[in-house]
A and B are shown apart, each in its own frame.
Chain A
Amino acid sequence: MLAIRHVEKSYPVSGGENVAALRNVDLHCERGSFVVIVGANGSGKSTLLNVLAGSEFVDQGSITLGAVDITRVPEHRRAAMIGRVFQDPFQGTIAEMSVRDNLALAACRGEGFSLRWALPRGLREEMRERVAVLGIGLEDRLDQPVSSLSGGQRQILTMLMATWHKPRLLLLDEHTAALDPRSADLVMNLTGRIIADRSLTVLMVTHSMHHAVHFGQRLLMMHRGRIVLDIRDGEKRRARPSELVARFEELRRMDRIDESVAALLREQYL
């Protein structure tokens, strides 16, 4: 379904050097798989989602989705196939527009922005039904501007928008990180439900070890632009948050050793 082959991506930093954000990343995901990605800041997990969404292009390697090579497809064209929910609740929705108008835009995804009426009667009814199912009272607020919603409600709305038409791939970029713990759990539970109901193919980046362990069938850990851990199914079910944290610590310790060795070498040879 999704095939990422030998992807490299680096950024220039001050001083004219390049820092690698993705190093030779290889990843294959089957249709309907729910993959969770964890990793420290700067591990490359957000960059991975960005190159998948098309916000940035890879330096090397290729990305295919289904049978389509999307490596060079611009972001707005990929959006026809890829749904995305951002970390910042303000990014995924248009604050001044009503909930209804936001959903109407989502309903255009993949169908194009023609001169057709944006809110035909059938769509209005479909909206009421699909919003009511969520059970957060959004159906009574369809006419209100999105700016009147809480962060959690906004993320749930963005989630609904990203999946209004079934995307081939759904990208969740720490979409609960900016919420308070209760809203985060609410949003995550609804997310899990929507993903299961519609058997979506998902890549979810999360900072929450708890969510990482409890959701999805496959878990990746990224470190310094590489995938350093890839467990699935039974092995993932047995994983505990504490084990993941321990693994993090281990990686960090190794880094520190790397750094001290490098410092030692510098001292001795330069």
Chain B
Amino acid sequence: MVTMLLSGLVMGFIFAPLALGVYISYRLLRFADITVDGSFLLGGVVVAALLKEGYGTVTGLLVAQVAGALAGMMTGLLITRFGIRRILAGILVMTALYSINQHILGMTDPRYFFPAEHSLRPLSESIAMALYGSLDAMEFLGGGFLPETVGAAVMYGGATVILSAALLLFFHTRLGLAIRGAGGNETAVRAMGANVSLMIVLALALSNAAAALTGALFALELGSVEVGGGVGMIVTGLASVMIGGALFGRQRFSLQLVSAAAGSVLFAVLISLITLNDRFSEDIKLFTAIFVVLALVVPRWVRRLRGGAESLNARTCAEGED
């Protein structure tokens, strides 16, 4: 049980970059960018390809993010340069990425297993060692749960905090502020002299780089990557953003951003509790989709019950669609 919760925590931290990425597309740009389904897997196959070529894990993670950023820019260019509708642009790039990912994986074998030495496990183990002195002492103290899971939780937790802080700082720079503004009101931001098209491309690059990072970390943690992974990642990201928004409110921007990462952790723990029962392990995506539907619909019911017309503002927050 504790181990289950802990690995849920680890998964939550691994999926936090994805949640932050979806926050950028869904809350700031106001559309659900399905490109992340493709760039999630892109991150996994890029890190696999690089490790196979003998590059280090850190290089692999960095290149995976660059690849994700390029995918996001592609979607951004389809929207801004060619005037393709935002949802469709995402679908097109996601579809194209399906083939590209297969090519990068580069074999008929639809699944690639990382060699044991290629993972972040040594790092998380050394963190666990540093924390508890030795693995044995840990075993003795903890009575049952795996010390490297604790180490992994600390490692990914630290990474999540650093990433959230970096994004938070970024969105308080002039460029970051313009990106936030471009999602809210293009006319006003253009009148302030910002190149709105560039802002949209940058926001999607950032969003998909984050999704690719999650994909790469997930592949490393799992020890394998397979074609067909990444389906429904946008919905997982949305679930995190919504659970975070519901719990931590939508008041201050800083709080909103961090709440997406926190939502990811909560959602993953929730999933791990549900999958405690083996019967439900096949139903995660169904559960995730239902959860998002409820998160979209229930607030509207509540508002209707409270009476009166829905405020325009609240409605655009809930839908955020084209």
Contact = CB atoms under 8 A, between A and B. Distances in A.
B181 A97 contact: yes
A252 B185 CA distance: 38
Interface string B170-186: 10111111101100110
A118 B174 contact: yes
Given A108-B174, A118-B172, A94 B181 contact: yes
Contacts of A110: 193
A116 B180 contact: no
Interface stretch (A6-14, A24-32, A36-44, A79-87): A79-87
A109 B188 contact: no
A92 B189 CA distance: 8
Interface string A106-150: 101111111111110000000000000000000000000001000
Contact of B193 (A93, A108, A116, A147): A108
Contacts of B52: none
Instruction: Count chain A CB atoms within 10 A of each CB in B181, B184, B193, B196 and give the residue with the most.
Output: B193
A53 B175 CA distance: 23
A80 B193 CA distance: 6
A85 to B, nearest CB: 9
Nearest to B199: A113
A199 interface: no
A193 interface: no
Interface size bucket, A side?
35 or more
Contact-residue size bin, chain B (C-beta under 8 Å from the other chain): 20 to 34
A132 B184 CA distance: 26
A105 B178 contact: yes
Given A95-B184, A97-B184, A104 B177 contact: yes
Contacts of B174: 104, 108, 111-118
A90 B193 CA distance: 18
B173 A117 contact: yes
A77 interface: yes
A91 B193 contact: no
Q: DSSP class of A's interface residues: helix, strand, loop or mixed?
A: loop
Interface string B157-201: 000000000000010111111101100110111111111100100
Given A76-B194, A108-B193, A93 B172 contact: no
B192 A79 contact: yes
A187 interface: no
A95 B313 CA distance: 9
A76 B190 contact: yes
B191 A92 contact: yes
A230 interface: no
A110 B176 CA distance: 16
A109 B193 CA distance: 6
Contacts of B185: 90-91, 93-95
A161 B313 CA distance: 23
A91 B170 CA distance: 25
Residue with the greatest number of chain B CB neighbours at <10 A, chosen from A90, A105, A116 = A105
Given A96-B184, A147-B313, A75 B190 contact: yes
A106 B178 CA distance: 10
B173 A105 contact: no
Nearest to B179: A113
Contacts of B177: 101, 104-105, 108, 113, 118
Contact of B181 (A83, A86, A105, A111): A105
Contacts of B193: 76-77, 79-80, 108-110, 112
B184 A105 contact: no
A156 interface: no
A162 interface: yes
A116 B172 CA distance: 9
B175 A91 contact: no
A158 B190 CA distance: 13
Contact of B188 (A92, A108, A114, A118): A92
Nearest to B256: A96
Contacts of A108: 174, 177-178, 192-194
Interface of A: 53, 75-77, 79-80, 83-84, 86, 90-97, 101-102, 104-106, 108-119, 147, 158, 161-162
Given A91-B188, A115-B174, 4 more contacts: A94-B181, A95-B313, A105-B192, A109-B193
Interface of B: 170, 172-178, 180-181, 184-185, 187-196, 199, 253, 313
27 contacts: A77-B193, A84-B191, A86-B191, A90-B185, A94-B181, A94-B184, A94-B185, A94-B189, A97-B180, A97-B184, A101-B181, A101-B253, A105-B177, A105-B178, A108-B177, A108-B192, A108-B194, A112-B174, A113-B174, A113-B177, A114-B175, A116-B173, A117-B173, A118-B174, A118-B176, A118-B177, A162-B191
